[in-house]
Structure 1
Amino acid sequence: MRSNFDFSSLFRSSIGFDRMLNALETANSVDNIETWPPYDIVKLGDDDYRITIAVAGFSSSDLAISQEHNMLLVTGQKANKDKDNVQYLHRGIAGRAFRRRFELADYVRVEDAHLTNGLLTINLKRELPEEMKPRRIEILTGDAASCAEMKQIEVEKQAA
């Protein structure tokens, strides 16, 4: 049983969270949830993720991956290879076209993608720009505080 939530009060009192709230509203209103092809999303580390999609019967030329801003789109369309003399007694391997969308957080980018044994693996990494990383701010005292020449703020380097 699904209940609808009203996020309008959060829009009135939050600044800068509009993308997240819009995503929550969209997820709340989705009634048709696609289940094919099956996929896994794995968190490998603090900033590393992996999406694995089962695409049995598709070749790399049948698949396309694109990223536009915060949307990752994976599509599959088999080349039309009609074989007039093939008669299936049972057809259990789905070969229908698909379009799978993944909403990505800010600063998440696709590192690479591999197709092995019918599994499409997409590796993702979140990379914060230097200006978004934590930084140390020097506290000036006494005469140094009145100095007209301000020192540059030092950015701490984090180990990879």
Structure 2
Amino acid sequence: MTRNQLATCDLDFSPLFRSMIGFDRLASMLDAQPAAYPPYNIEKTGEDSYQISMAVAGFGQDDLDINVENGTLIVRGQKKETSKDDGKTYLHRGIATRAFEQRFQLADHVEVKDARIEHGMLNVDLVREIPERLKPRKIAVKQGLLDALVQGGAREALNPTKAA
């Protein structure tokens, strides 16, 4: 293929992104949005499992709020007010503690399984669980009653010793 043919190639890769990542419209949303605070990674950890990791240094367990509303994972961080007179004198404050809200549109059948904070990282585990009724299944083809009788009669005609 030449460069011009590739440029005019009109292929829809959205089903590929959905099956690889598990999030609808995720690739285009990530490309369209500016850098987010706090920074985060989305990792595929298994066949149907994913992990969102967010750098939340300076935030504690009580400062974070995680909810799922209408298929959207919402992670909010709000540093609890500390006394201005906590006895500390800062020469430089470089650890960001500003409030934030991150939203992630979850694909169908993706559930939040766990959330934990470790070493300044918030890890949210997600699993895609497709209900049994939506999974592909094989349907056995049975022989009709009339066909079974016809074939049974044909066997008896070919084997008269069983009939006697």
| TM-score, normalised with respect to structure 1 | 0.67
One-letter amino acid matched to 2:96: A
Q: What amino acid sits opposite 1:75 in the alignment?
A: R
Which structure's residues are more often helix, by fraction? 2
Unaligned runs of 5+ in 1: 1-9, 11-19, 147-160
Alignment-derived partner of residue 84 in structure 2: 83
Q: Which residue of 2 aligns with 1:93?
A: 95
Residue 41 of structure 1 corresponds to which residue in structure 2? 42
Structure 1 position 27, deviation (Å): 3.4
Write the distance in 1 (CA, Å) between the matches of 2:147 and 2:80. 70
Q: What is residue 143 of structure 1 aligned with on the other side?
A: 145
The CA RMSD over aligned residues, in Å, is 2.6
Size of the aligned set, in residue pairs, is 124
Percent identity of the aligned residues? 46
Structure showing greater radius of gyration is: 2
Q: Say if 1:105 and 1:118 are closer, same or farther in 2 by CA, change over 3 A.
A: same
Alignment partners' CA distance in 2, 1:69 and 1:135: 29
**1:75–1:34 distance in 2 versus 1, CA, 3 Å:** farther
Q: 2:102 and 2:142 mapped to 1: Cα distance?
A: 53
Deviation at 1:86, TM superposition (A): 4.9
Select the structure with the greater relative contact order (CA < 8 A; seq sep ≥ 6): 2
Structure 1 residues 136 and 76: CA distance shift in structure 2, 3 A: same
SS at match of 1:44: strand
What residue number does 2:152 align with? Answer: none
Give SS of 1:113's match.
Answer: strand
CA distance in 1, matches of 2:62, 2:119: 15
Q: Indicate whether 1:117 and 2:107 are aligned.
A: no
* Gaps in structure 2 of 5+ consecutive residues: 1-11, 13-23, 149-164
Q: Structure 1 residue 142: deviation in Å?
A: 3.8
Looking at structure 1, the residues matched to 90 and 106 of structure 2 have their Cα atoms a distance apart, in angstroms, of: 40
